[in-house]
Amino acid sequence: MMELAFSQWMAGVQAQVEDALSDFLPAAHLVPTKLHEAMRYTVLGGGKRVRPLLVYASGALFDADPAALARAACALEMIHAYSLVHDDMPCMDDDELRRGKPTVHIAYDEATALLVGDALQAQAFEVLASTDTVPPARLNGMLRLLAQAAGSGGMCGGQAIDLDSVGLSLTREQLERMHQLKTGALLRASVLLGALCGKDLSETEGEALGAYSQAVGLAFQVVDDILDATADSATLGKTAGKDAADNKPTYVSILGLEESKALAEQLRRDAHHALAPFGEQALRLRELADLIVQRKA
C-alpha cells in the first residue's frame, strides 16, 4: 500500500469505507423506511472521512486485519455523523447546511433527526462489537475506548462545554480542554482503534500514538477555526462565519489569525515528532497530519 501516492491511497480508503458503510447501515426499504432513509442520507456520499483515514493509517503500523479496520472505521464515522446531526439541530447550533446539502432536520424533520442520531450511535456499537477477527478481550477494550471517546468524558462533554461557553471569554487552556474532548477524543479513538485492530499496544506505542493524536486533534480544531474565519460557505460545505456570528470563543478570537496559523504548523511538527519511533510505517499518519493542517475545507 505504501507505494501508492497519498491521494490514491486516500481515495481507495474513502471508497472502501463508503461501500462498508452502505453494507453496515440498514437498507432504506426496511421498516421504518423514513428513519433508515435519513440514516443513509446523512452518512453516505459526503465528508472527508478523516476518522476512517486515521483508522486505516494507524492500522498500517501493525498490518491490521482489513475486516476489523472496516468495522472500526465505520463505527467511528457513524458516531461522528450522529454528532453532526444533533449539533445541527435548532436546540444546539441550528444549522441548515452540512456537507453541501440540507441538514437532516431540514431535509426531514426534527424528530427524525433526533432518532437518526440515536440510531447511528447504537449502530456504531453493533458494527464494532460484531468484529470476529480480534481477540475478545482486546475487542472489549476497543468498545470501552469508543464509549469513553463518545460520552460525557469525550465528545458529548466537549459539546456541553461548547454550548455553555457561548459569549464567554475562555482562556487558551480552557479552549484546548474543550476541543480535546469535543473533537480530539474521537480522533484519538480513531488512531488507537486502528492500531488495536492489529495488536495489543505496548505502553510506549500507546503513548506515542496518544501524543500524535493530541497534536492532530488540536490542529484539526485550530484549522477549523481559521477556515471559519477566512473561507466561504460554498468552499466549506457548511455555514461560514458562524462562530463569530454566534459569539463563540475560537483560537482565532483568542490568539488572532496569524498566531493561529503558526500554532497549527507547530502542532503538525509535533505530530511528526511523535511518530518517530514507528519509522517508515507511519508514512500515512504523517501525511494525514499534513492534510489536516493544509486543508482548505
Q: Tell me the per-residue pLDDT of 158-217, one tens digit each, with 9 for 90 and over.
A: 999 988 988 888 899 999 999 999 999 999 999 999 999 999 999 999 999 999 999 999
DSSP character string of 151-177:
STTTHHHHHHHHHHTTT----HHHHHH
Strands (E), the chain: 97-98, 101-102
User: What are the pLDDT digits (tens) for 12-56?
Assistant: 999 999 999 999 999 999 999 999 999 999 999 878 899 999 999
Domain formed by 6-294, architecture: Orthogonal Bundle (1.10)
Closest CA to 213 of 200, 236, 227, 194: 194
Task: Please tell me the distance from the alpha carbon of residue 292 to that of residue 296, in angstroms, as a whole number.
Answer: 9
Which sequence spans correspond to the domains of the chain? Answer: 6-294
- Write the pLDDT tens digit of every residue in 127-139: 999 999 999 999 9
Q: How confident is the model at residue 117 (pLDDT cuts 50, 70, 90)?
A: very high
The model scores a pTM over 0.95:
no
| Mean pLDDT confidence for 90-105 | 89
Give pLDDT, residue 169.
Answer: 84
Q: 94 falls in which pLDDT band (50, 70, 90)? A: confident
Chain position carrying cell 447546511: 97
Beta strands 101-102 and 97-98 are antiparallel
How far, in Å, CA of 83 to CA of 106, rounded? 16
234 falls in which pLDDT band (50, 70, 90)? low
What SS3 state is found at 7? helix
Q: What is the pLDDT of residue 68?
A: 98
